[in-house]
């Protein structure tokens, strides 16, 4: 029987040499006359073990990693094709603690299936949600999504069902589904992993959104820095079209839905929904004032659902297993699961999907295994470049939208970046202001001017120039940006700045320059 060996084609695995490993495997397998095929799967999300290869055996899949091309010969000598033992053998994939303790709903297939095999997708429960959706009325589909408690995973946490209902209830000659795959937050990669590892789940989620709201056309706006995701999504859309999953009659129903892939030119602000719509329309990516909401007047002035990749990719399982199944996971008003992306100075970097409610400490210490440097954790930035820095004192905060907001933080797209005790939080605060100044679309004054002034004030504090007065000025500036900015780029930059200043005051009190010189 032909053995299946899985070598990820996920960008993170490729960056760590997966292509060389695949080539070496093909060569050695041929030379040794082994009856095996190589499947290029997505990543399982254990990035510190990439490239992690797997072999299918009667007992389940056996994992090996991190594998280099130079390891391939010895792996085959050790009986890789039958799951043989080797120094790089990690045991059964499903038994790896990092994977075993997860609740994978959205990422259920990622790393398991061949991303571009629709047959494999179907064999692993794919298309069940869409099959159910075509039997329901649009209002029923929207009710399912509302009932599930799903909230937008792009950052704002807005209830997805309410957004869909607004579009359903708004008349329009055409309606659109726009998938936000700009994924600009630092330390985030969940969107990319899904698009590369299980693209059909996103296509299925978008088709369900189309049927639910009366939209017949979808766009996936993917950042240009994701060439592999763009290639995989483009091929997957073609395959789905040929198979009748997309097109004039979705799964043979009376509903039409098609998808186009579009590439962003590379601006953080183009992840903001209205700037994204401008960019999609071929205009400069600047923020539009709201109202009107995109749900009323979005792409080409038509009613538009704009959702993050993970929001849309979470819909198929809700339709398949029912809203209560999904809603049963989580805590408070944060229902279902959240794919947490663990990055920065941390031992176990990767993607960890779990029900809402784990504490930050559990994520960083237990799951992440502490810092990669072995030094104490100083701070964790949660929610991308606009997210707050949390000190160890706040590690009991549960991963929940409201709990983070109560501590002046945000979950955002659920990326966490870990810093050890060598981090200088004043420098991080300056970086937040600098990032805002570089990425600002320039439309409103508090963000455009405020961020540049913020960099200057941070520099003065660093130089010991009137530190107390300048700390007050920085706080005042943050207040102006928070309440005076048109969008969350300027409005949320104060979160990393103020959290750094509040929780790490020592870093904002460098020795005065004059005294230091004496
Ligand atoms: C500066 C800025 C950048 C953003 N970048 C992204 C992004 O890369 N991806 C994303 O899904 N949402 C991003 N958002 C949030 C979107 O504006 C919007 O809330 C989201 O696409 C809605 O989808 P959801 O409800 O499914 O989360 C960004 C917001 C701001 C203010
Ligand atoms: S806050 Fe910044 S990015 Fe947002 S509209 Fe104003 S200038 Fe543009």
Ligand 2 pocket (Cβ < 6 Å) reads 269, 287, 440-444, 447-448, 485-487, 489-490
Mean pLDDT, range 139-162, rounded to an integer: 97
- Residue 395 C-alpha to ligand 1 middle, in angstroms? 26
Per-residue model confidence as pLDDT tens digits over 297-329: 999 999 999 999 999 999 999 999 999 999 999
Rounded to whole angstroms, how far apart are CA atoms 339 and 358? 12
pLDDT tens, 51-70? 999 999 999 999 999 999 99
The span from the first CA to the last CA of the chain, in angstroms, equals 79
**Given the CA of residue 490, which atom of ligand 2 is nearest to it?**
1
Q: What is the pLDDT of residue 512?
A: 59
Residue identifier of the C-alpha nearest atom 12 of ligand 1: 154
CB 378 within 8 A of CB 421: yes
- Cα-Cα-Cα-Cα torsion 194, 195, 199, 203, nearest 10 degrees, comes to 100
Centre of ligand 1 from the C-alpha of residue 263, in Å:
16
The mean pLDDT value for 80-96 works out to 97
The minimum-distance atom of ligand 2 relative to the CA of 443 is 7
Q: Is the pLDDT of residue 230 over 60?
A: yes
Q: Is 272 touching ligand 1 by the criterion CB < 6 Å?
A: yes
Residue 341 alpha carbon to ligand 1 centre in Å: 16
| pTM, full prediction | 0.97
162 lines ligand 1 (CB under 6 A): no
pLDDT (mean) for 407-411: 96
| C-beta of 304 in contact with ligand 1 (< 6 A) | no
| Contacts for 516 with CB less than 8 Å, ≥ 6 apart | 464
Distance of alpha carbon 177 from alpha carbon 189, whole angstroms? 22
Tokens (6 digits) for 310: 């993970």
pLDDT band (50, 70, 90) for residue 1: confident
User: Ligand 2 center to residue 449 CA distance, Å?
Assistant: 10
Pocket of ligand 1, candidates 162, 167, 229, 308: which has the most ligand atoms within 8 Å of its Cβ, to mutate?
A: 308
In sequence order, the β-bridge partners of residue 341 are 351, 415
Please list the alpha-helical segments (H only) found in 149-299: 160-169, 190-197, 199-213, 227-242, 273-280
Residue-wise pLDDT tens digits, 265-301: 889 999 999 999 999 999 999 999 999 999 999 999 9
Closest residue by CA, ligand 1 atom 18 = 273
Residue 266's pLDDT is 81
Q: In Å, what is the CA distance from 150 to each residue of 105, 197, 327, 423, 485?
A: 13, 22, 8, 36, 28
| Cβ–Cβ < 8 Å for 205, 312 | yes
Helices (DSSP H) in 283-338: which residue ranges?
A: 309-313, 315-321, 323-327
pLDDT at 518 exceeding the cut of 80: no
């Amino acid at each position: 029987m032909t053995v299946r060996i899985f070598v990820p084609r996920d960008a993170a695995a490729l960056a760590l040499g997966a292509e060389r490993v695949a080539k070496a495997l093909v060569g050695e397998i041929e030379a040794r006359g082994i009856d095996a095929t190589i499947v290029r799967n997505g990543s399982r999300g254990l990035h510190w073990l990439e490239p992690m290869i797997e072999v299918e055996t009667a007992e389940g899949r056996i994992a090996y990693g991190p594998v280099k091309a130079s390891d391939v010969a010895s792996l085959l000598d050790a009986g890789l094709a039958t799951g043989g033992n080797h120094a790089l053998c990690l045991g059964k994939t499903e038994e790896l603690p990092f994977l075993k303790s997860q609740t994978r709903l959205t990422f259920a297939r990622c790393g398991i299936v061949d991303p571009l095999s629709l047959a494999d997708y179907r064999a692993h429960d794919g298309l069940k949600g869409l099959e159910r959706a075509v039997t329901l009325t649009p209002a029923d589909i929207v009710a399912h999504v509302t009932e599930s408690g799903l909230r937008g995973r792009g950052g704002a946490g807005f209830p997805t069902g309410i957004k869909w209902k607004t579009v359903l209830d708004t008349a329009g000659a055409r309606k659109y589904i726009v998938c936000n795959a700009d994924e600009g937050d630092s330390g985030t990669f969940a969107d990319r992993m899904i698009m590369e590892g299980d693209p059909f789940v996103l296509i299925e989620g978008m088709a369900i959104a189309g049927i639910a709201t009366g939209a017949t056309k979808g766009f996936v706006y993917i950042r240009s820095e994701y060439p592999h995701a763009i290639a995989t999504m483009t091929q997957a859309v073609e395959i789905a079209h040929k198979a009748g999953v997309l097109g004039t009659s979705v799964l043979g129903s009376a509903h039409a839905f098609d998808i186009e892939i579009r590439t962003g030119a590379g601006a953080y602000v183009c992840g903001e929904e209205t700037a994204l719509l401008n960019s999609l329309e071929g205009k400069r990516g600047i923020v539009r004032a709201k109202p009107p909401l995109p749900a009323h007047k979005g792409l080409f002035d038509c009613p538009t659902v704009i959702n993050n990749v993970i929001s849309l990719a979470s819909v198929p399982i809700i339709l398949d297993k029912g809203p209560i199944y999904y809603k049963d996971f989580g805590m408070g008003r944060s229902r279902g699961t959240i794919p947490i992306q663990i990055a920065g100075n941390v031992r176990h970097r990767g993607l960890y999907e779990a029900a809402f409610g784990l504490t930050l400490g559990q994520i960083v210490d237990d799951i992440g295994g502490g810092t990669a440097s072995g030094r104490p954790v100083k701070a964790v930035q949660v929610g991308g470049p606009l997210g707050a820095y949390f000190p160890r004192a706040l590690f009991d905060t549960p991963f929940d939208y409201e709990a983070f907001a109560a501590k002046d933080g945000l979950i955002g797209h659920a990326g966490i970046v870990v810093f050890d005790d060598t981090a200088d939080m004043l420098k991080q605060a300056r970086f937040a202001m600098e990032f805002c100044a570089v990425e600002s679309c320039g439309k409103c004054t508090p963000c455009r001017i405020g961020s540049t002034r913020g960099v200057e004030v941070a520099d003065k504090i660093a130089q010991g120039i009137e530190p107390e007065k300048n700390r007050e000025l920085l706080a005042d500036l943050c207040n102006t940006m928070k309440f005076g900015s048109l969008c969350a780029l300027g409005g949320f930059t104060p979160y990393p700045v103020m959290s750094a200043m509040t929780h790490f005051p020592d870093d904002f009190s460098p020795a005065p320059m004059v005294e230091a010189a004496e």
